[in-house]
Amino acid sequence: MMKLIGISTKEEILNILSETNPDKISEITKEAYRVKVETIGSRVHLRGLIELSNICVKNCYYCGIRADNESVNRYELSDEHVMEGAEFALRAGYGSLVLQAGERSSPGYTKHVTSLVKRIKELSEGKLGITLSLGEQNIETYREWYEAGAHRYLLRIETSNPDLYSKIHPNNTLHSWERRVQAIKDLITVGYQTGTGVMIGLPYQTLDDLADDLLFIKNIGVHMVGMGPYLKHSETPLGRLGVNTTSLDLTLKMVSALRLLLPRINIAATTAMQVIDPYGRERAVLAGANIIMPNMTITEVRENYQIYENKPGIKDDADISKSKLEENLAKMGIEIGWNEWGDSSAFEH
Ligand code: SAM
Ligand code: SF4
C-alpha cells in the first residue's frame, strides 16, 4: 500500500508521480481532496485576474509574449480599465484580484503600479485582497508595492533544476535562476504571502525534476503554489521543438502530491489545466487545489495575452468567464467562498 498521509521524502513523492494505474491515481486524488477538506475546508476561493500588459523585457523560450515575438500586438490597459476590473471583482464577490503582466522595471513603472494598488484599496475600502504577478523586481520595489496594499505575490521558479532552467531561458543575467530564487526569498522577507510554482511536462524535464520541484516548494517556505502544464506556443524557441503537451493526470498527481506534502498551503487550479481538459480546473480542485483565478481582462486585449496557444475564453468577457466557471463548479458540487480573501492557512499558521 502506497504511503499517502504525512509524505515527506523524494521517494514517496516519486511513488505518487510514477503511478499509472487509473484506480490508484483516483485513490491518490481522493485522499488529497480529503486532506484538503479536513485541513482548510472544501470551499474554493477566487481571484479575478487582470492582465495589465503584455509588454515584457524578457525572452523566456516558452512564452508567447516574449520580447522577441514581433507578431504580438503590445498593449497596456488604461487605469480606467483596471479600475473597472476592480469594480467588477468587488461586485462579483471575488474577494481578491490579481494584477499580472510581462516584466518591466523602471521608477515610472514602479510608481504607476503603486498608484493602481492604492486606488484599488481605496475603491474597495480595503475589501479586495490584491495579488501581484509582475516578475522579478528589486526588494525596494516589492516593499513599496506591499506598503501600498498588495499582500500576495506570485513568482514561479518555473523549474527547481538550474540546468533545466538554463535550457528554457537565454543564458544571461536577466534570466538567472539564482536571481529568481533570491527574488522569491525577498518577497517572503518583505512579508508577502508568497506563491511560486513550476511548469509540468517541459521538454527535457524528468519525474525526478518534478519531485525535486515539490521539495523546493516545501523548503523555500512559500504559502501558495500555482503549477500548470507547459503548453506549446509555435512562435517560441521551445514551441518549435514540437514537444507534445503532457497529460492532465501528471498535473493532477503533482497537485495531489503537493497537497499531501503541504496540507495547509493554497494551491491554484490554473487556466492551463483547462486547455488540456475543459473541466481541468474543477478536476484539480477535486485533487486538492483550492484557488481559481477567473479572467476579468477586457475582451479587446485578451487575444494579445496568449502565453500559450489555445488559451480558453479569449472571446469571453468578465461576466461570461464568471458564469461559465460558476456553472462548471456547481456541476461538480464545488462551493465558492464568496467575498472572502481565502488567505493561505500556511501563512497564518
Ligand atoms: N512575467 C511574469 C513572470 O514571468 O513571472 C508574470 C506573467 S507570466 C506570463 C506568468 C506565468 O506564465 C509564468 O510564470 C509561466 O510559468 C507561465 N507560462 C508562460 N508561458 C507558458 C507556456 N508556454 N505554458 C505554460 N505556462 C506558461
Ligand atoms: Fe515575460 Fe513572464 Fe513571459 Fe517570461 S514568462 S517572457 S517574464 S511574460
Q: Compute the mean pLDDT over every residue in the chain, rounded to the nearest whole number.
A: 95
Q: Decide if pLDDT at 332 tops 80.
A: yes
- Single pTM value for the model: 0.97
Q: Decide if pLDDT at 2 tops 90.
A: no
**Confidence bin at 346 (pLDDT 50/70/90):** confident
In this prediction, residue 242 carries a pLDDT of: 84
CB of residue 103 inside a 6 A radius of ligand 2: yes
In this prediction, residue 348 carries a pLDDT of: 73
- What average pLDDT does the segment 161-172 reach? 98
DSSP line for 162-225: HHHHHHHS-SSGGG-HHHHHHHHHHHHHHT-EEEE-BEES-TT--HHHHHHHHHHHHHHT-SEE
In this prediction, residue 297 carries a pLDDT of: 93
Nearest-CA residue for atom 8 of ligand 2: 102
- What average pLDDT does the segment 147-156 reach? 98
- Beta strands 199-200 and 45-53, pairing class: unpaired
Alpha-carbon distance of 345 to 349, in angstroms, equals 6
Q: Decide if pLDDT at 277 tops 80.
A: yes
100: Cβ–Cβ under 8 A, 6 or more apart, which residues? Answer: 49, 50, 51, 52, 132, 133, 134, 154
Alpha-carbon distance of 166 to 177, in angstroms, equals 8
pLDDT digits (tens, 9 = 90+) for 119-133: 999 999 999 999 999
**Confidence bin at 137 (pLDDT 50/70/90):** very high
CB of residue 336 inside a 6 A radius of ligand 2: no
**Confidence bin at 292 (pLDDT 50/70/90):** very high
Whether 297 and 65 have beta carbons less than 8 Å apart is answered as: no
Exposed e or buried b per residue across 153-172, where buried means at least 16 C-beta atoms within 10 angstroms of its C-beta: bbbbbbbbbeebbeebbeee
Q: Give residues (CB < 6 A) around ligand 1.
A: 56, 62-63, 100, 102-103, 133, 135, 155-156, 158, 199, 228, 230-231, 233, 272, 307-308
Domains and their CATH numbers in the chain: 10-341 (3.20.20.70)
In this prediction, residue 39 carries a pLDDT of: 96
Q: Decide if pLDDT at 243 tops 90.
A: no
| Cell numbers describing residue 291 | 484557488
Assign residue 64 a region (left: φ > 0; alpha: ψ between -120 and 50; beta: otherwise): alpha
Q: Decide if pLDDT at 349 tops 80.
A: no
Q: Dihedral angle at the C-alpha atoms of 40, 46, 50, 55, nearest 10 degrees? A: 30
Look up residue 132 and give its DSSP letter: E
Distances (CA, A) of 298 to 133, 275, 281: 18, 20, 22
Q: Which residues pair with 50 in a beta bridge?
A: 99
Alpha-carbon distance of 155 to 184, in angstroms, equals 7
Looking at the CA of 49, name the nearest ligand: 1
Tabulate helix, strand, coil % of the chain (nearest 5): 45, 15, 40
